[in-house]
Amino acid sequence: MSGLHLDDFVDLIERPDGGVRRDAEERRARFATPPGALGRLDELGEWLAAAQASVPVKPIERARVLLFAGDHGVAELDVSGRPAGTTKDLVRAALDGTSAVAILARRYGVGLRVLDLAVDCDPAELPEEVTRHRVRRGSGRIDVEDALSAEEVEQAFRAGMAIADEEADSGTDLVVLGDLSVGGTTAASTLVAALCGTDASVVTGRGGFGIDDLAWMRKCAAIRDALRRARPVLGDQLELLRTSGGADLAAITGFLLQSAVRHTPVILDGVVSAACALVAQRVAFRAPDWWLAGHASGEPAQAKALDRTALNPLLDHGVSVGEGTGALLALPMVQAAAALAAELPLRD
């Protein structure tokens, strides 16, 4: 159905340099600080060394927050804590600097980039640099129709790949990945349930803005119906994203895979990025070695996806707002690991 050959990623994606990681482990053993005293910071420092192919580790100096934005037709069923079609308000808050992730990015001195893949608004309402990768206005209602056409899913996937290349070429040394969406957790939970072979009730959470019991039941029913459409196409990841994902999710998946090709480390945020990571793992099994799970969001679908990708969250602070906020909170921990691995004195 497509000119994309996802099997190519299997050969293109290599694991972080194992020899460099062993060198980093040997260097760590020579620290004056006792082995194990820094807990997980040691592991992070060694992972960064392998990802950078550098001992000692280089400081994280050009991290960037990337937020992939899109509306989802399934939100029309009142399955979200926000009204359908209001992702543009989330985008505007991020651009205006008033959202939680924007405030933290400003405080940490980290650049923030918003990418509109399927926001349900006139593109003239948003800056051109935000909308230039847009695929369509909103994604289809996945419980009764496909999220995208064949051409749209390829366009979105290639957009994600192009964005990964743009970041790598500009010198970004670590990406904090998030999403801005209304209805996105419903689509993401459908992908996780389909790939893990579980029922809708197992993966249905309350979303980033919280929903009451009636909305939870509507969401569960929507995921159940979407699963009936997803299961027949499980063998084709692009077809799965077309049927049951959306333009933002397809782009995130392409971004994650191409970032692994380009050796760009990524911190994942909540259920949406975790679901895309699970799809990407099915494409190329080595890809998760380039990612960190920033935090546990409390969404059951995220927990299941991270378990399948063998990613252990760095933080668990009960942050459920999404939008990359939890992942960004993990950035100082990763930066601390890099600084300690590079600067702690060695024993004589």
CB-neighbour burial class of residue 70 (10 A; exposed 0-12, middle 13-18, buried 19+)? buried
Burial 204-229 (b: 16+ CB within 10 A, else e): bbbbbeebeeebbebbbbbbbbbbeb
d(CA 8, CA 15) in angstroms, rounded, equals 15
Q: Which residue among 46, 154, 239, 323 is the active-site one?
A: 323
CB 255 within 8 A of CB 68: yes
Q: How far apart are CA 310 and CA 286, in angstroms?
A: 11
Q: Are strands 174-182 and 266-268 parallel, antiparallel or unpaired?
A: parallel
For the beta sheet containing 174-182, the strands, ordered from the edge strand earlier in sequence to the opposite edge, are 111-118, 63-71, 174-182, 266-268, 291-293
Q: Is 151 one of the annotated active-site residues of the chain?
A: no
User: Which positions are catalytic?
Assistant: 323
